[in-house]
């Protein structure tokens, strides 16, 4: 009838107007974020150009921050450094001989299999992504044995064959069950859980933390996750984290637990769906799987097959995702098998977006998005942040995993110092490789000249503090203690500097210290 057609036309017009309004909002937000990103880049470049006057170590620090945390603009060269900074890297012949990582670190470091980097990765990568045998890493040894040789077989025969009811709370066995129970029961929800102590109690800290958090949040029951598949998959993931100083299973467990705590912020109550929570915890667990202990830029500079495969774009992050989803295809390892197809595809898309956000070269755009949201979004009187669309929620989740990945300086000092020793050792091992290959050393990778204390002060001033300060504004007051710990740790490292002076930025003048100016 005419009335029905008129009503339908009116509804259609309203829907079109709504769509146009949403599109306009998205375009406006993107434009503001792009302007903020450009502004932050310029501010950071200006400040870093000043500290280069402080001597050779200060120049190294500046080059390190630029090459790691600033995504090169189109047309930039020099290994990811922003325009005006020279990496000093010359073209060298590709070295095809196999190289091995240095011997295992002592102490509480991860004890999984070592990984090696090789120019023979191309064929091996196809094995990793198509083989029906044990999971093959993108790295191989001279013997051509895969890194998966000690991993679980495709049928999961080395996985836990049966799961007693008492075990599923933690997902692992331990020869110190009372200590394990104390750590999980008392500290799982606390910022500053001693993940190194947990790694001494169980050889599978990642499985322990991930399963415990899923159980506590009711996600296992909510999504009908098979407990057997969950444990099999997580054990397989842990087997594919390698014995590198920093990017190992202990780091992954720390990022999962840190994200769990950040999700508990009062301001984020009811913001995220259960599927989004499951997605970010999964992304945290796999975000560095099969990491070789080398940077993206090293793989690009050495013409590594992974860099060729992923066109120099977020090389490792793309690889971590490929391995993580390949492991899900192994029989008895699909913890998402009971998810409806639509939910499964949505979770995959979210996990991809979040793991790609852990590429540190995306830091400025992430910070700009977060700062823009803080300045433009309104918080209700109850203190609950209202995010009315997926795009906004995803930006928060991407920044959350980024914060968790950069949380070491905001942890209790004893934990921060342990993490710092490990990341520096990983950098130094890369520098040793570069020296052996006859190529220029990457910034902060020369163990003979690097200034650890100065690096941490600048790292906090220019990268970590702007991020955490903005996050603290978003979830105020939940992250204030975290920010206070970060400031205390900065002061401690500043007090340890004994050689040439370093130019210190004032914390009201750094790249995240105010609203973006147009």
Residue 247 assigned to a binding site: yes
Q: Is 344 annotated as a binding residue?
A: no
Evaluate whether 348 touches 242 at the Cβ level (below 8 Å): no
345 CB burial (10 A radius; 0-12, 13-18, 19+): exposed
Among the listed ranges 51-55, 61-65, 260-264, 488-492, which one has the minimum average pLDDT value? Answer: 51-55
427 carries a ligand binding annotation: no
pTM: 0.73
Query: Domains (ranges, CATH) in the chain?
Result: 121-356+412-441 (1.10.1300.10)
pLDDT digits (tens, 9 = 90+) for 433-480: 999 999 999 999 999 999 999 999 999 999 999 999 999 999 999 999
Structure-token pair, residue 501: 């002076």
CA gap 145, 305 in Å, rounded: 18
Of 25-39, 392-406, 488-502, the range with the lowest mean pLDDT is: 25-39
What confidence tier does 341 reach under pLDDT thresholds 50, 70, 90? very high
138-192 residue pLDDT tens: 333 322 223 332 333 333 333 444 454 444 557 788 889 999 999 999 999 999 9
Query: pLDDT-based confidence at 34, cuts 50/70/90?
Result: low
Question: CA–CA separation, 404 vs 280, rounded Å?
Answer: 11
Q: What mean pLDDT, rounded, does the chain reach? A: 78
- Cβ atoms of 135 and 323 closer than 8 Å: yes
Answer yes or no: is 291 a known binding residue.
no
In this structure, which long-range contacts are made by residues 402-406, counting pairs with CB atoms below 8 Å and at least 24 apart in sequence?
402/357, 402/358, 402/362, 402/363, 402/366, 402/467, 403/258, 403/262, 403/467, 403/468, 403/471, 404/255, 404/258, 404/259, 404/262, 404/284, 405/255, 405/287, 405/358, 406/463, 406/464, 406/467, 406/468
Q: What is the pLDDT of residues 198-240, one digit of tens each?
A: 999 999 999 999 999 999 999 999 999 999 999 999 999 999 9
Summary count for the chain: helices (H), strands (E): 20, 0
- In the chain, the percentage of residues whose pLDDT exceeds 70 is 64
Q: Which residues are marked as active site?
A: 247
| Higher-scoring residue by pLDDT: 9, 330 | 330
- Give CA–CA dist 504/495, Å, rounded: 13
Determine whether the annotation assigns residue 359 to a binding site.
Answer: no
User: In 3D, which of 269, 503, 500, 250 has the Cα closest to residue 380?
Assistant: 269
pLDDT per position as a tens digit, 259-299: 999 999 998 988 999 999 999 999 999 999 999 999 999 99
**Rg for the chain (alpha carbons), in Å?**
23
- Would you say 249 is a known binding-site residue? yes
Q: How far apart are CA 192 and CA 409, in angstroms?
A: 11
């Amino acid at each position: 009838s005419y009335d029905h057609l008129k009503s339908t036309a009116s509804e259609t017009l309203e829907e079109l107007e709504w769509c146009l309004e949403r599109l306009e909002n998205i375009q406006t937000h993107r434009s503001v974020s792009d302007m903020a990103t450009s502004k932050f880049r310029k501010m950071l470049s200006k400040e870093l150009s000043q500290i280069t006057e402080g001597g050779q170590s200060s120049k190294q620090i500046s080059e390190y921050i630029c090459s790691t945390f600033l995504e090169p603009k189109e047309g930039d060269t020099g290994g990811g450094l922003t325009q005006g900074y020279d990496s000093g890297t010359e073209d060298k012949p590709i070295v095809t001989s196999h190289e091995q990582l240095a011997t295992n670190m002592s102490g509480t470091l991860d004890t999984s299999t070592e990984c090696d980097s090789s120019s023979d990765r191309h064929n091996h990568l196809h094995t990793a992504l198509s083989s029906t045998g044990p999971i093959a890493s993108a790295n191989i040894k001279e013997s051509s044995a895969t890194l998966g040789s000690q991993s679980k077989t495709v049928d999961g025969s080395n996985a836990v064959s049966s799961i007693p009811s008492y075990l599923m709370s933690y997902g692992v066995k331990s020869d110190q069950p009372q200590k394990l129970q104390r750590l999980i029961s008392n500290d799982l929800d606390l910022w500053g859980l001693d993940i190194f102590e947990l790694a001494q109690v169980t050889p599978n800290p990642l499985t322990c933390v991930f399963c415990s958090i899923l159980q506590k949040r009711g996600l296992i029951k909510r999504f009908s996750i098979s407990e057997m598949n969950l444990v099999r998959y997580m054990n397989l993931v842990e087997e594919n984290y390698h014995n590198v100083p920093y990017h190992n299973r202990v780091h992954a467990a720390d990022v999962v637990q840190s994200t769990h705590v950040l999700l508990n912020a009062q301001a984020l109550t009811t913001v995220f769906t259960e599927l989004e929570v499951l997605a970010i915890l999964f992304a945290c667990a796999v975000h560095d799987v099969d990491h070789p202990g080398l940077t993206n830029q090293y793989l690009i500079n050495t013409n590594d097959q992974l860099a060729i495969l992923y066109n120099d774009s977020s090389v490792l992050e793309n690889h971590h995702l490929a391995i993580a989803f390949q492991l899900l295809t192994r029989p008895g390892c699909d913890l998402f098998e009971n998810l409806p197809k639509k939910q499964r595809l949505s979770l995959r898309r979210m996990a991809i977006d979040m793991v790609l956000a852990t590429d540190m070269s995306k830091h400025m755009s992430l910070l700009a998005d977060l700062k823009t949201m803080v300045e433009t979004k309104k918080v209700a009187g109850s203190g609950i942040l209202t995010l009315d669309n997926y795009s906004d929620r995803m930006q928060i989740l991407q920044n959350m995993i980024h914060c968790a990945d950069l949380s070491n300086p905001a942890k209790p000092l004893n934990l921060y110092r342990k993490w710092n020793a490990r990341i520096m050792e990983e950098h130094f091992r890369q520098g040793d490789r570069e020296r052996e290959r006859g190529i220029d050393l990457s910034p902060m990778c020369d163990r003979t000249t690097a200034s650890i204390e100065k690096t941490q002060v600048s790292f906090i001033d220019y990268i970590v503090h702007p991020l955490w300060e903005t996050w603290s504004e978003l979830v105020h007051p939940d992250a204030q203690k975290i920010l206070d710990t970060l400031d205390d740790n900065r002061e401690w490292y500043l007090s340890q500097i004994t050689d040439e002076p370093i130019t210190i930025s004032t914390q009201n003048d750094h790249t995240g210290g105010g609203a973006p100016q147009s």
